[in-house]
Structure 1
Amino acid sequence: MSVLVILNVITRYAFSYSFTWVEEVTRYMMIWATFLGAGLALRVGGHIAIDTLPNALPAGPARWVRSLIVAVIAASLLAVIWLGIEYAEFGWEQETPVLNWSFGKVYLAIPVGAALMLVHLFFVAPRWIRSGEWERIEGFDPQAL
């Protein structure tokens, strides 16, 4: 994305020529990158969370609250998958303005990203429910920002 945008800026100002498709392609790349990366962020605890209640409770009730949270997240992701598929089907016959791609292909990022988040949730849920700990990646702290 960065390379395309920088290239387009250089050609626009240096050669008075702009690639008309760059803005559209980079926008769709950003959408797909966001939805594909959301599962990885979930895996390391990188999403915004309010964990005051589970942290204030004794171990047993805290596990119960975290289990309830996982169930709500899973149900929400299943709803997003379902609605995302419907949204992609709705936009399948519509075309993007410049490239004439199907909007359905762009909208597929929603159910695909939600399905990947659900997969990541199932990988990290047992550990998180037991201990409140996420996976750790050497040199990466999702709460540092």
Structure 2
Amino acid sequence: MVFDHLFSKILAGADWCARILVMTSAAIMVIVVSAQVVMRYVFNSSFDWADEISRLAFVATIFIAIPLGIREGTHVSIDMLVSRLPAMPRRTLARLMNLIAAVLMIIVFWTSIITAQVTWSERLGTIDLTSSVFFFPIIIGAAHATLHLLYLSLYPAEPSP
């Protein structure tokens, strides 16, 4: 019971940080793309760095938001068969699926770290950053998603009827 409380507190803190990061990166994306449109169509000029910054913000928005969708249960699923099962098999199947998804997220996490290491010396074209920066949100999102999936495996939500 103490572990459950501690685990949920850690997840709540990670969720709060993720929400802030998602809102910030989405705002950056909207501001940069809007400024780029104004620059191109009003001033017939552009920012060299706008494409890379907006792509990085897009990647961050998507991958940091994945664990929040897992927590809320808002990701798309097909439950035509599962919804017809009795409560106990449904809960067992949910635990198993969450555990399998956690293993897959660990693979994504680990593979992203390896890819970031391999691409560390590559630089982005317009800003002096490593191209590995695109893998940071994937690493963070996969680790956070793994925690949520493990939590759901250990403490499944009550099945809906």
Q: What TM-score bracket applies, with the shorter chain setting the length? A: 0.7 to 0.9
1:119 to 2:155 alignment: no
**Residue in 1 that maps onto 2:46:** 18
Q: Is the 8 A contact 1:93 1:102 kept in 2?
A: yes
Q: Is the 8 A contact 1:39 1:113 kept in 2?
A: yes
Render the CA deviation track for 1:2-41: whole Å, top value 9, x for unaligned.
1111111112222222111111100111001111011111
Count residues in correspondence: 132
1:89 to 2:117 alignment: yes
The two structures have a TM-score, normalised by structure 2, of: 0.75
**Residue in 2 that maps onto 1:78:** 106
**Residue in 2 that maps onto 1:46:** 74
Give the CA deviation at 1:132: 4.6
Render the CA deviation track for 1:84-121: whole Å, top value 9, x for unaligned.
11111111111111113101121122211101112223
Identity %: 28
RMSD of aligned alpha carbons:
1.7
Mapped to 2, the partners of 1:71 and 1:127 lie a distance apart of 11
Name the structure where helix makes up a greater proportion of residues: 2
Q: Is the 8 A contact 2:95 2:152 kept in 1?
A: no
Give the CA deviation at 1:50: 1.5
The two structures have a TM-score, normalised by structure 1, of: 0.82
Return 5+ residue gaps in structure 1 as ranges: 134-145
Return 5+ residue gaps in structure 2 as ranges: 1-28
Deviates more, 1:79-88 or 1:102-111: 102-111
Q: Is the 8 A contact 2:98 2:152 kept in 1?
A: no
1:64 to 2:64 alignment: no
**Residue in 2 that maps onto 1:138:** none
